[in-house]
Amino acid sequence: MSHPLYEYDYSDNYEDDEGYVYRIVTLKRKNGQPFAGRAFMLGAQYMDKILPESVWRGELGIQQSAGWEHCMFWKSEPGLFVFRKHKSKISSS
């Protein structure tokens, strides 16, 4: 299912020494215009906050397997979303 406004770019996964795997998801507007900021995208209630799954999956349409959590953002790059998942939640299939 694609989102009517955004295109998605999913990075390769990166691991740390504490048992987590990370991924960066970049949202780009389909019309090529830059994002006006997180408040514009999601409303002021999500400015400077880690997003719950209901927002990043439901409102932004980011699609990932279960277990990922939003963990970091940059004010200067509102279209970049960093997610992490504990290695124990990754299936070995």
Measured distance CA(59)–CA(93) in Å, rounded: 29
**End-to-end Cα distance, the chain:** 24
Residue 34 pLDDT grade (very low, low, confident, very high; cuts 50, 70, 90): low
Tell me, yes or no, whether 20 lies in a domain.
yes
Residues 6+ apart with CB under 8 A from 50: 69, 70, 71, 72, 73
Q: For the chain, how many structural domains are there in total?
A: 1
Q: What is the DSSP string of 73-84?
A: EETTEEEEEEEE
pTM of the model: 0.81
Segments forming the whole domain that contains residue 57: 6-89
Tell me, yes or no, whether 75 lies in a domain.
yes
Instruction: Give the model confidence (pLDDT) of 56-88 as tens digits.
Output: 898 888 999 999 999 998 777 778 899 999 988
3-state secondary structure (DSSP) of residue 3: coil
Tell me, yes or no, whether 49 lies in a domain.
yes
Tell me, yes or no, whether 27 lies in a domain.
yes
Tell me, yes or no, whether 43 lies in a domain.
yes
Residue 7 pLDDT grade (very low, low, confident, very high; cuts 50, 70, 90): confident
